[in-house]
Amino acid sequence: MKVILKADVKSLGKKGDLVNTSDGYARNYLFPRNLAVEANAENLNVYNSQQAAAAHRKAEEKKAAEELKARLSTVKVIIKGKVGANGCLQGAVTTKDIAEALKSQTGIEIDKKKISMKLAVRGFGKYTAEVKLYPEITGEMTVMVEQDA
């Protein structure tokens, strides 16, 4: 019997999956616990429309991520840092600092957890930061660390 899962079922599938299962398992376990519905014509139409809407939503998110990637490639974030006793940067620049500077300078709001640095920013100069925008899309932006006047 084909059923559409309404919730994640261990060893069967995830919510929204169309799966084939035995009649007894569906009638005696899945249906009474409201974990699945029978895949009849009406439910299949609803399922297909939900799948189409999800695909459209993912395509829109991917397109927005591509546009943001192009925009980030031209962004140069400037962070002012204090000079320590030996003429080096006092402390380090964190991803939180980069996210806050990006928001204040360009208006682009990105979660600090999505920003990663190849090298630790412990001195003045030019650095490259990677930003995870979507599962397959990663953008890069330039971070300039300058002395605070």
Tokens of 109: 């709001």
Q: How far is it, in rounded angstroms, from Cα 125 to Cα 127?
A: 7
Instruction: Say if residue 74 is in the same domain as residue 134.
Output: yes
Q: How far is it, in rounded angstroms, from Cα 118 to Cα 120?
A: 7
Instruction: Say if residue 123 is in the same domain as residue 79.
Output: yes
Of the three residues 60, 85, 101, the one that is the final residue of a domain is: 60
Give Cβ neighbours of residue 1 (< 8 Å, ≥ 6 apart): 20, 21, 22, 23, 26, 38, 39
Look up tokens 């925008």; give the residue: 133
pLDDT at 130: 94
Of the three residues 36, 60, 84, the one that is the final residue of a domain is: 60
Number of H helices, E strands in the chain: 3, 7
Residues 84-142 pLDDT 10s: 878 788 888 899 999 999 999 999 999 999 999 888 888 888 999 999 999 989 999 99
pLDDT band at 147 (very low <50, low <70, confident <90, very high): confident
Q: What is the CATH number of the domain that holds 50?
A: 3.40.5.10
User: Could you give the number of structural domains in the chain?
Assistant: 2
pLDDT band at 149 (very low <50, low <70, confident <90, very high): low
pLDDT at 97: 92
Print the domain residue range for 83.
Answer: 67-147
Is 117 within 8 Å of 129 (Cβ atoms)? Answer: yes
